[in-house]
Amino acid sequence: MKKAIFLLLAALAAPGIPAARGDVTSWRNGGNGVYPDAAPPAGWDAPAHVLWKVPTPVRGNAAPILVKGRLFYSEEPAVLVCADAKTGETLWKASHAPEDVADLSPDERKELARAKAAMKTMKTELDPLKRSAYRVQRRLRRDKSNPELRKEARELQKKIRAIEAKGGTILQRFKKPKTHDTNGYASYTACSDGEAVYTCNGTGVVAKFSLEGKLLWSRKLEEPDHGWGGSVSPTLVGGKLIVKFADYTALDPGTGEELWRTPSPVNFGVPASFQLDGRWFLYTCRGELFRVSDGKKLPSQDWVIKEMPVAFFNTPFVDGNRIYVAHGFQGFQGDIYCMEMPETVAELEKNGLRKVWYTELYHDRYYATPVVHEGLVYTFSMRGSFQVLEASNGKIVYQEKIPGITGRTFPGILLVGGKLVTGQESGTVLVIEPGREYREIARFEVGECRSNPIFDGKTAYLRTIENLYAFKN
């Protein structure tokens, strides 16, 4: 039987210098979120475990990546930051906002500089208003019918727009698309081939930077096809850079030239990649199967959630010749599928993946990617339902509503040194022993966080809303 070949670090499929040992060059360390040689977290809230802590006053939801001793992470709305992994010191920042990478005349560039300078002087007015608007929006999520909060939110947005209008018409040409206040524009984790960094933002810009911060190319694609903000991080697969704002699009990593484009409904999760007989394929949380060489869509499942058509958030987990996919919507639907690859590319292109089993899960959203380890599948719903299934047949082993988890579980499940690591938006980190019953090893607080940590041996790096950390495990 011909065996499929799988890659835990998708970036290594790209041309260029291989990543250094210990580097984390893409979202969830290649998608699966597995760190077999790393030490699991231990008491990150204790000062003795904090190697360094650097404030990040401009927020961003994307996870950092680690390339040759440097951390790369994003700031709102469209800034790539490079920091020294040993100290956290910022080495450089580079904007890839549409106005900063656009082809403008010298006069237009001068006018843009004047407008941005004017906006900078108004920053002392804008920043408090934006912070207030953010806090009001968070309160509104908990009290949606409060008319006073709604009125306050409208008035704050009106004041913000009035100040931004003072920047002049040239900034209006680069007005950002609508987004969700939680998601923002900087929820795309960068990726690297070891010699350059590829990044994108919620305005539809994709850019390539050298490790020293030089812009090598940029490309303005379409804006996200919805008002929720995007988070499909760029990924290098089969010599192509795969991005998604509306359509799945492949770019030439060397030049930024568009190679192919395939329409797809709204999806917030990075597709999984796998290789069969030397050819690369993508599989999405919606059950879409694409051929990487030309973008052709192959026979697919095309799952639908009628009550919330956009509720597809995570990355499928690839384990051998099987792929595990979970999705759902609170109060209406919860699904997990085990899909299997055939023996040959010809069979895959004719029939697609085969369903091995299906199990109904707790009806909720699933931001967290499922993880498979030693015959068990682990899932974690938005509202804190931890469910474990048999990987062979989908039978539920146990389901635990984790006590004390009241926030949204945006951070996914990671497998670190044989332990399960996950958390929630408010900043609770959980370390769980894998197995057939729920056993919590550790729990600690790190501050509000929507990002996944990354691991390099005994060191972990985490971007919270307010700080960038290095922890000693």
CATH number (domain holding residue 38): 2.130.10.10
| Whole-prediction pTM | 0.87
Query: In 133-201, at which residue ranges do the beta strands (DSSP E only) sit?
Result: 191-192, 196-200
328 part of a folded domain: yes
> Taking the CA of residue 233 as centre, how many other CA atoms within 13 Å lie in the half-sphere pointing to its CB?
33
Examine the domain organization and report whether 270 and 358 are in the same domain.
Answer: yes
Tell me what pLDDT residue 21 has. Answer: 63
As a whole number of angstroms, the distance between CA 314 and CA 281 comes to 17
Q: What are residue 326's phi and psi, to 5 degrees? A: -130, 140
45 part of a folded domain: yes
The residue range of the domain holding 353 is 10-97+181-472
pLDDT tens digits, 174-194: 888 888 888 899 999 999 999
Examine the domain organization and report whether 331 and 226 are in the same domain.
Answer: yes
2 part of a folded domain: no
354-360: strand order across its sheet = 317-319, 322-329, 333-340, 354-360
117 part of a folded domain: yes
**Three-class SS of residue 450?**
coil
Crossing angle between the packed helical segments 123-142 and 147-165, to the nearest 10 degrees: 160
Examine the domain organization and report whether 219 and 294 are in the same domain.
Answer: yes
In Å, how far from its chain's centre is CA 48? Answer: 29
* Residue stretches of the chain with pLDDT short of 70: 1-21, 167
Whether residue 413 contacts residue 366, with contact meaning beta carbons closer than 8 Å, is answered with no
Examine the domain organization and report whether 27 and 107 are in the same domain.
Answer: no
As a whole number of angstroms, the distance between CA 292 and CA 273 comes to 9
Q: Which DSSP string do the residues of 219-274 spell out, in sequence order?
A: EE-PPPSSSS------EEETTEEEEESSSEEEE-TTT--EEEEE------SPPEEE
Among residues 137, 172, 207, the one where a domain terminates is 172
Q: What are residue 94's phi and psi, to 5 degrees? A: -140, 130
Q: Which DSSP string do the residues of 395-418 spell out, in sequence order?
A: -EEEEEE-TT--S---S--EEETT
Query: Which one, of 452, 390, 471, 401, lies nearest residue 26 by Cα?
Result: 452
**Three-class SS of residue 8?**
coil
Examine the domain organization and report whether 270 and 145 are in the same domain.
Answer: no
Examine the domain organization and report whether 142 and 278 are in the same domain.
Answer: no
Whether residue 74 contacts residue 186, with contact meaning beta carbons closer than 8 Å, is answered with yes
